[in-house]
Amino acid sequence: MSELVKGMLEDDADDDDVTEIPLPNVKAAVLKKVIEFCQHHRNEPMTEIEKPLKSAQMAEVVQKWYADFVNVEQVLLFELILAANYMDIKPLLDLTCATVASMIKGKTPEEIRKTFNIANDFSPEEEAQVREENKWCEEP
């Protein structure tokens, strides 16, 4: 399932030794979650995630197990995104990124800043200018 791991195993296919796969960018606790995902995905593949998201509730987007799997602290969620990207595990990357998108869906910029603890570094004038330049994307 991981294209990174698959490629490393294929490169060492003629070697009889046990292949060691270095994953310096993935913490042990995160790797454990990645393995849990992969094992479950092998037995019950995740339904394809519709884009744009039809709901901000992940349980309405994917099966319950997958929605529960990504119901984690933000730090772990972002570490899973990085691990899925680094290890090239597309279904996990799709799931975790969709989860972040669901956290943004339907929120104002202020609500998004609060959700992700982002400081607003725009002056009121700069913010007004950005809103004016991009008001087309707020139109229904």
How many Å apart are CA 81 and CA 92, to the nearest integer?
A: 8
Q: Is the pTM of this model over 0.75?
A: yes
pLDDT digits (tens, 9 = 90+) for 54-100: 999 999 999 999 999 999 999 999 999 999 999 899 999 999 999 99
Q: How sure is the predictor about 19, in pLDDT bands with cuts at 50, 70 and 90?
A: low
How many Å apart are CA 78 and CA 42, to the nearest integer?
A: 23
Q: What pLDDT, on the 0 to 100 scale, is given for residue 25? A: 79
Q: What pLDDT, on the 0 to 100 scale, is given for residue 127? A: 86
CB-side neighbour CA atoms (13 Å) of 9: 6
**Predicted confidence (pLDDT) at residue 18 exceeds the cutoff of 90:** no
Q: How sure is the predictor about 121, in pLDDT bands with cuts at 50, 70 and 90?
A: confident
Q: How sure is the predictor about 137, in pLDDT bands with cuts at 50, 70 and 90?
A: confident
